[in-house]
Structure 1
Amino acid sequence: MPQKPLKWGVKAWVLADSQQSYIQYVDIYPGRNAIPQTHLGSSVVKRCLENSNLVGKGYHLYTDNFFTSPELFANLFENFGTYACGTVRYNRRGLPKDIMCKKPSGINLRGDMKFRQKGFLVASVWRDKKNVYTVSTIHDHSTSQLKRLVNNDGTFTRQNFECPKAVADYTCNMGGVDHADQYIQYYCYNHKTYKWSKRVFFVLMEMAKFNAFKLFLMSPNHQTNLTFLDFSISVAKGLVNGYISETRRGRPSLMPVENRLVQRHMPASFDKKSKCHLCYMRNRNNRQVPIKQTKFGCLECVKHLCLPECFSKYHTERNCYN
């Protein structure tokens, strides 16, 4: 998608609550070869509502101009029992051409607006910095106010402007998916991989963590001042708590533990000096032990060992590296 900040990736359609940003449904887009491109936005909205079990419950749905069309909103109102509102592209079919055009007459100054209604569908155009076109089955011709920054001789001040109620409600309720995406990107476990299935899996896991965080905050029996970072840390600690790997890193010992503890070993001298094996291993295990050089050791174990402490400790104690 060349107009997006991240132009390459896997597309996911998301249906989220507008107040809590709780993710209700996720649909991974498999591409144009798997799903026909005709009326793609309408088919996505219908599928999300059907699969999330929200049909016929009177919910208000807010969509952006990629999905919004008079045909879709009429279908949702008549067959799905769902009211809808959203911005719309002025060249969609079924819109009134006198106001849904590039330069509608009478829309010149900031705050100018016009309405058209056909049955339960209400179309409006409002002048902000540029024209904002909306279609709604929720609202009528009622108006509201929005605050906007205005430049007065280099001084920016906030002023109230009249606008359609549909625009004001759209501004308040449209950020659910964006808010969820923002939270998911904060502490996302997302390392590079060539397999798209891994990327999708980890993003879905982050969505599940975000939903759990929102449910945690909404629960009356839990603290409400918990941040998303604290919640993520607690989840990570809960997953790894009590787990200790029994696999020991590094090369395995040449001499089994049972042999070095039961057989008879005599100290001997090597031709060259080298690091004491026991001092080196104890220092590697975070013990504050200096690593000594010695030419003595055990020819049977083929290890350089300091005399007499390290030599006796290595051949008498099972956990001599601790």
Structure 2
Amino acid sequence: MQPDSNVLPESFSDSADSRDSDPDFVAASSSSTLTTESEEDSEDSKDSGSGWIGKNGQVWFPTNEETLPFVKHARGVTSGPTRYAIARVQGVDSAFDLFFTVEMIDLIVNMTNLNGQRTNKTWTDVDSTDVKAYMGLVILAGVYKSRGESTGSLWGERSGRAVFKATMSLKRFNEISRALNFNDKLKKAARRRDDKLAPIRTLWEMWAPRLQMLYNPGRDVTVDEQLVAFKGRCRFRQYMPRKPVKYGLKLWIICDAVTSYAWRCSPYLGKTENAPEVGQGMRVVKELTEGLQGVTVTCDNFFTSYPLAQELLKKKISLVGTIRKNKPELPPNLLEVRGKPFPSSVFAFTNNTTAVNYIQKRGRNVILLSTRHREAVVTEGPKCKPEIVNYYNRCKGGVDNLDKVVGTYSCRRKTNRWPQTFFYNMVDLSAYNAYVIFTAIDPSWNCQKLYRRRLFLEELGHLMVSAAIVQRKHLPRAPIAAAMVRELQSSVAAAPQTPAGTSNVAGQRGTCKCCKNRTVCTCMACARFTCKNHHVICCKDCWPN
């Protein structure tokens, strides 16, 4: 599962890689010997005929005379938000609601109430407003970078924030956290033997397809793994010593290389039948790229292989990535570094693939494979890196950047239940994807600010808790929190009143503020659209004068 220690993995830029500090992970280049091979290589090529032979019989050529030119395939779609997303995004909260639909919220409500009734004798049922308020509070906790802070301090007199006390009490927040559930525990016991993801499978299958439905990635995509920190009990928990968190839940992710939009995720559930999977990297890339066409996939040496590159070409997808030295398709002539001047590069070609052995100095070299580049092109300058290396450095960091931006304002709370950790990660990815979609639709929104994402998350969190604050019957004890509740409730009461069941504009339709269904009815208090399932009909004696 881990990369070969003798192979330079992801980064070959001038700066050190953020994930690994191994000095072998640094490389440089020069154009002094890019177009010429040593006399020893020339003799080897003559002995083997007109090309170099790999261990499995694959024939390579030292020049690209037999290589076909690269053809850029048509994509058929425009990169960016889909029409489905553009038609439904009206604000910050509506962008996030595209990922957590009404059906998903109802599932969480029903399963949480069921679990709460079984485990807590004094349990009070939650509704969709409570669940959204809970999600809004954990998002705000991430905005304030309180992931390592105790939950009690968020409601504290000195260290707390007024919005937490104004939304719900600390006791209620802890009750929801303990009861939060996504499946019936009594029914999933039998399923768990066959499906390790059973406790959250239903919610995951409702959430994962929406990632592809709402956004079309650009021509450059990145495939890599994400490790979500978790140290509790879990059958498929992973130990990766080279990762910052080391223990966690692993997901395979493909994302847009420019925006880092998470386009598809697949959880890794461990070994099957007590044996390691053969060809796992190829299977993962083929599954993640299903439905894509005309793109270039960038991945590290765990995934890259010559058979994978040929399979992707059949799907009109090109591949660029580092490749391990022990791959049988690589010829010994390409791997040889003794006697080679450094810095230097040695190229090898087939009819549709290019491989390059990039040597910086003695003992430091890296091999890359590309079906996009068909010529021995290098950049000018003192370090003169091959174009394949420069392209790999530009596009390899899509998932790494996703980890960085999600971790900056992560909503994850400390828990011993891995389904809850999965849920927090789903909220984090949804919030970031919603930000990408919203800023693509409205690029002028806070365009002058350097912390747009923080403003987006803060506004999203406040919008998600506002309904719970308005519905509060008792004011909190803290004066600042009580003033916040009064202000919000008074602003709603002062809104122009329209009789329930009517529209403020004849024939105009809008989205229900409670369930997001389309309706022509509006609330009599706040004048916002409210469907027939969520407005109250009063008799004429109770109707306000």
State the TM bucket, normalised to the shorter chain. 0.5 to 0.7
TM-score, L = length of structure 1: 0.67
Aligned with 2:422: secondary structure? Answer: helix
CA contact (8 A) 2:256 2:262 kept: yes
CA contact (8 A) 1:107 1:126 kept: no
CA contact (8 A) 1:141 1:164 kept: no
Q: Which runs of 5+ in 1 are unaligned?
A: 147-158, 251-283, 288-322
CA contact (8 A) 2:299 2:320 kept: yes
Shift of the alpha carbon at 1:27?
Answer: 0.7
Quote the Cα distance in structure 1 between the aligned partners of 2:324 and 2:258. 26
CA contact (8 A) 1:65 1:89 kept: yes
Task: Report the AA paired with residue 169 of structure 1.
Answer: Y
- Give the alignment partner of residue 43 of structure 1, picking from 268, 283, 294: 283
Cα gap change, 1:214 to 1:36, in 2 (>3 Å): same
Other-structure match for 2:376: 142
- Give the alignment partner of residue 84 of structure 1, picking from 319, 328, 338: 319
- Give the alignment partner of residue 243 of structure 1, picking from 468, 474, 498: 468
1:68 aligns with 2:304: yes
Other-structure match for 1:122: 354
Cα gap change, 1:106 to 1:73, in 2 (>3 Å): farther
- Give the alignment partner of residue 132 of structure 1, picking from 344, 355, 366: 366
Quote the Cα distance in structure 1 between the aligned partners of 2:443 and 2:280. 43
Shift of the alpha carbon at 1:94?
Answer: 0.8
Give the fraction of aligned pairs with identical amino acids, expressed as a percent: 27
Shift of the alpha carbon at 1:106?
Answer: 4.7
- Give the alignment partner of residue 268 of structure 2, picking from 2, 26, 29: 29
CA contact (8 A) 1:107 1:113 kept: no
- Give the alignment partner of residue 96 of structure 1, picking from 331, 337, 353: 331
Shift of the alpha carbon at 1:92?
Answer: 1.3
Taking only aligned residues, the RMSD between alpha carbons, in angstroms, comes to 2.3
Q: How does 1:196-275 map to 2 (within 5 A)?
A: 196-220=418-442, 222-223=444-445, 224-225=447-448, 227-244=452-469, 246=472
Aligned with 2:468: secondary structure? Answer: coil
- Give the alignment partner of residue 11 of structure 1, picking from 238, 245, 250: 250
Other-structure match for 2:112: none
Task: Report the AA paired with residue 377 of structure 2.
Answer: T
How many residue pairs end up in the alignment? 234
Other-structure match for 1:195: 417
Quote the Cα distance in structure 2 between the aligned partners of 1:175 and 1:82. 19
**Runs of at least 4 residues off by over 6 Å:** none
Quote the Cα distance in structure 2 between the aligned partners of 1:47 and 1:91. 25
Quote the Cα distance in structure 1 between the aligned partners of 2:478 and 2:460. 28
Shift of the alpha carbon at 1:248?
Answer: 5.8
Shift of the alpha carbon at 1:76?
Answer: 0.9
Other-structure match for 1:317: none
CA contact (8 A) 2:347 2:376 kept: no
CA contact (8 A) 1:60 1:84 kept: yes
Task: Report the AA paired with residue 37 of structure 1.
Answer: E
Quote the Cα distance in structure 2 between the aligned partners of 1:285 and 1:225. 35
Quick check: 2-11 or 239-248, which moved more? 239-248
CA contact (8 A) 1:116 1:122 kept: yes
Task: Report the AA paired with residue 119 of structure 1.
Answer: N
Other-structure match for 1:162: 384
CA contact (8 A) 1:145 1:160 kept: no
CA contact (8 A) 1:68 1:87 kept: yes
Structure whose residues are more often strand by fraction: 1
Other-structure match for 1:290: none
Q: Which runs of 5+ in 2 are unaligned?
A: 1-239, 481-545
Cα gap change, 1:225 to 1:16, in 2 (>3 Å): farther
Shift of the alpha carbon at 1:128?
Answer: 2.8
Q: Bigger relative contact order, structure 1 or 2, given CA contacts below 8 A and separation 6+?
A: 2
Quote the Cα distance in structure 2 between the aligned partners of 1:5 and 1:185. 12
CA contact (8 A) 1:65 1:86 kept: yes
From the CA coordinates, give the structure whose radius of gyration is larger.
Answer: 1
1:176 aligns with 2:411: no
Task: Report the AA paired with residue 83 of structure 1.
Answer: S
CA contact (8 A) 2:411 2:427 kept: no
Other-structure match for 2:120: none
Task: Report the AA paired with residue 139 of structure 1.
Answer: H
Cα gap change, 1:221 to 1:285, in 2 (>3 Å): closer
Task: Report the AA paired with residue 429 of structure 2.
Answer: M
Other-structure match for 1:298: none
Quote the Cα distance in structure 2 between the aligned partners of 1:174 and 1:106. 31
Cα gap change, 1:125 to 1:9, in 2 (>3 Å): same
Cα gap change, 1:8 to 1:248, in 2 (>3 Å): same
Deviations 1:293-315 (A, max 9, x none): xxxxxxxxxxxxxxxxxxxxxxx
